[in-house]
Structure 1
Amino acid sequence: MKTVLCYGDSLTWGYDAAGQGRRHAFEDRWPSVLQAELGGAARVIPEGLNGRTTAFDDHLADCDRNGARTLPTILASHAPLDLIILLLGTNDMKSFICGRAIGARQGMGRLIDIVRGLTYPMAAAAPKVLLVSPPAVRETEDINFSAMFGESIAESRKLAPLYAALAAEVNCDFFDAGTVAETTPLDGIHLDAENTRRIGAALAPKVRDMLEI
């Protein structure tokens, strides 16, 4: 059986903007939908953390949100892996974190380097990489989220083309989640249950092709 690791932020964790920060039902989260679509051909491991960045520190956070710093431990913990899906970048858009799409692109490049350069337990091979750009940030009437992300709307729209170019440069696969899902106006960055399910369903054919299952 193949093993897939989904490494992401609150979009992977399943943050429900309508539920005051609670999680979507397990079966609605996109890694769960991907697992269901793949059936018994693969095991899908969800590894989402609210606020996780690609490679930037958040000194206001209660735990380590720097994706580049925590990734090696998580890769080694779950090895051997056949595929890692990287869906990050939204939190990089916070003005006090980075605020620029190019920063997220550079951070994603760092994550890919980590995946391919790690010495894996039992001499396991490095997994394949699927780079996924998040749906763009949108306007919201939520005061807090608007203050954190309002200036990042235009920058967030640059993520997909930057990630696509990075994927072509380093020879990994790419998918634009914004082609099948959109963020909720409740807070401008998260997904309702329907849209998170769409991502899982849309990724399934891509994953099947990559893993030849």
Structure 2
Amino acid sequence: MKKIVFVITLSFFLVGCSEISSSEPLTYNETSREVTTIEHLDSKMFTHHYMYDNMDRGNHDYFNKTLVVDPNYKEVSRGDVVLFEKDNGERSLSRIVALPEETIAIQKGQIYINNKKLDTFYGFAHRAGLDKKAYVELMENETNQKSVKEVFNYSMKNLTLSNEEYYLVSDDWFRGEMLVVRKDKIIGQVMGYKK
């Protein structure tokens, strides 16, 4: 009888501990909000002039800029901005938020990785660099408010990536996209602006 009570008590303890660890956020502060300026290009780097505003965080980040791309991109990290090729052959930019074999979900505009809240500046919905509260207040009298609220309340069920897939999200959820991209479709890491 003592063994049964011990096993039941231990089971409750372990379940409680697993819930505590899954509720801890995944804090990721290694990625800078600032886009650096690159003066000298490595011989293998190339430039790409980008003309879409899906990465706008309030300063027209990346829009109408000549960017430096490093195709020798080996150490892929969460938060990296990458140039990739879409299925239609078009080139685009987005930020890596989930890595191979991770499970990503989105609940009311908040990204979760392996059931942990992604606690970083790109871990939740933005529009032109503003969070939901700030943007709704700014756009209080605008007609497209309903579609913007839908972006901030966007949810997606769990999606587990293969060992060759990444999940990319644009910094501006209203103007951008969210998609799975295979490793072989990533052209390179965007290092910054060309000076």
TM range (shorter): under 0.3
TM-score (norm 2): 0.26
Q: Which has the larger radius of gyration?
A: 2
Structure with greater strand share of residues:
2
> Counting helix residues as a fraction of each chain, which structure ranks higher?
1
Structure scoring higher RCO (CA < 8 A, sep ≥ 6) equals: 2
